[in-house]
Structure 1
C-alpha cells in the first residue's frame, strides 16, 4: 500500500517518535519510491520507516502503524540495510492518545 501522510499525520508521527521526514528533494527519494512505493519516509535511530493508516478511512485522526523497512548497519547511523517490513510503532487515534 502506498501512502503519503497528510501534514497533520506527519506532525503526529514526528511529535510521538522524534523521527525526521526524508524530504522530497533528497537524492535518495527516487530510489526509495522505486523500491518501496510513494510513501512519506521517516528516519530515526532505528532506521527507515513508513507509516500507514490502520483504519479504512485514512483521515488525519486514523490509527497509524509504523513499519521499519531498513535498519542502520551495525548500529551506526551511516548506512541503511533494507529488510522485510517489520512493524515498529503504533499511534492510536488522537482521541485515544493520552
Structure 2
C-alpha cells in the first residue's frame, strides 16, 4: 500500500519507525520484490502496511507487515522471509483507539 505524505506522518505518530523516502535508490530495488508500497524500517526490520481485512467500512485501519528481519545485531543487513503480519494496527485518520 502506497501512502501519501499525510498518511505517512499519521503512521509515524503511532508506529516507531522510519519511512524510506520514495526517491531513495533502495526503493527501486524493493519494488520488484514486494510491489509499490511505502516502506518502513524499525527495530524488527523492513515493513509495509496493508489494509486490515476484517475492518469496518471506513477503511482507514492498516496493519504493519514485516517483510525482512535484521540478520545481525547491528541492524546492517536484512534477511527476507514470507510476509509476517504483526499485531500493530495503525489508524490513518489518527483516531485514538482503545
Q: How big is each residue's C-alpha offset from its partner over 1:31-85, in whole Å with a ceiling of 9 and x where there is no partner?
A: 10000000000001110000122258786xx011010000000333100110010
In 1, the alpha carbon distance for the partners of 2:94 and 2:48 equals: 19
Contact (CA 8 Å) 2:18, 2:40: kept in 1 or not?
A: yes
TM-score, normalization by structure 1? 0.81
Q: Which runs of 5+ in 1 are unaligned?
A: none
When residues 33 and 56 of structure 1 are mapped into structure 2, their CA distance, relative to the original with a 3 A threshold, is farther
As a proportion of its length, which structure holds more helix?
1
Q: Would the alpha carbon gap of residues 86 and 57 (structure 1) be closer, same or farther in structure 2, given more than 3 Å must change?
A: same
- Farther off after superposition, 37-46 or 47-56: 47-56
Partners of 1:56 and 1:97 lie apart in 2 by 13
Aligned length: 94
TM-score, normalized by length of structure 2?
0.81
Query: Structure 1's 75 and 53: CA in aligned 2 closer, same or farther, altered over 3 A?
Result: same
